[in-house]
Amino acid sequence: MKNLLLATSLFFTLTSFSQDKTIELNCYNKWAAKFEDRGAEDVKDGVYEDVIITNRQGAKAVCNNGKAEVIKGKLTKFYILLSDGTYEEVKRTWKNASNENVTIINGISKSMISVHNELINVLWPSKIKPKKAKPTTAPDPTDD
């Protein structure tokens, strides 16, 4: 009887520890997955007022609307859109000049790292390619 109780309690203890923990994706991960899945057109030189500025530390991320300036294929300045409709330039003290010569690949800028270990990226959602057409399913055979 003791062995049965011990085996049962051990079984329930092991199954409770082995349950899958659902990992919740943050806003950056969701956008990055969409860019990876669909791809993006090249970002040409200009000022874009429809970008997303992502700020990540650890597993936490904050995504804000903003605008960005691209010159010679490189991100030069970027701003966060404030609730009153104005923009505030994102300024940080950067590690290893990570804010210089920032390339844009597949619609997402290279990660810039602040001295406080913030990872910052700029995303161009308007450059995401449209969904690919899905194949049509053939009908099952009939007994005609």
Q: What is the pTM of this model?
A: 0.76
Confidence of residue 142 (pLDDT cuts 50, 70, 90): confident
Question: Is a pLDDT exceeding 70 seen at residue 16?
Answer: no
70-108 tens-digit pLDDT: 999 999 999 999 999 999 999 999 999 999 999 999 999
pLDDT of amino acid 123? 98
DSSP 8-state assignment for residue 54: E
| H/E stretch holding 12 | helix 2-17
H helical segments located in 39-136:
none
31-65 tens-digit pLDDT: 999 999 999 999 999 999 999 999 999 889 999 99
Q: What is the mean pLDDT of residues 115-136?
A: 94
Are the beta carbons of 109 and 102 closer than 8 angstroms? yes
